[in-house]
Amino acid sequence: MISEAETLKKLRKACLALPDAEETVSFGHPTFRVRGGKIFAVLETYRGELGICVNAGKLMQGVFLDDPRFFRTPYIGGHGWVTLRVYAARLNWKEIGELVKESHLLAVSKPSKKQALAAQEARKARH
């Protein structure tokens, strides 16, 4: 069985290989985000179960939830997030790499509220 430390090491490698990715700690959990922006992956323990949380998008979320290795991420599941149970089955790091990459793309393509407000203010200032 893979340890939490080894899981984090491998997740870190997959996440930090992506453009403008950085690691922070949020609510006590290792969190990966696009530099200065949105979160795209989290390693957390929920109700005693270690999981890797990613944004699958609202349209794809159901596909993942049909797989017993996944559950809807608490609190942010309504936004398309799913959690992969680390100990449900042997981890496929190629699959995890793809999940992280897709989540990263969602984070990059959708501006944060702060970024959207800044863009809105900039447009107002030009007119």
Total residues belonging to the chain = 127
The DSSP-derived string for 19-79 is TTEEEEEETTEEEEEETTS-EEEEEEEETTEEEEEEE--HHHHHHHHTSTTEEEPTTTGGG
Which pLDDT belongs to residue 113? 61
For range 98-103, the mean pLDDT? 98
Which pLDDT belongs to residue 127? 62
Confidence of residue 36 (pLDDT cuts 50, 70, 90): confident
Average pLDDT, rounded, for the chain:
91
For range 73-92, the mean pLDDT? 96
For range 33-42, the mean pLDDT? 92
What are the tens digits of pLDDT across the range 4-33? 999 999 999 999 999 999 999 998 999 999
Domains and CATH numbers, the chain: 4-126 (3.90.1150.30)
With vertex at residue 123, the alpha carbon angle to CA 121 and CA 124, rounded to the nearest 5 degrees, is: 65
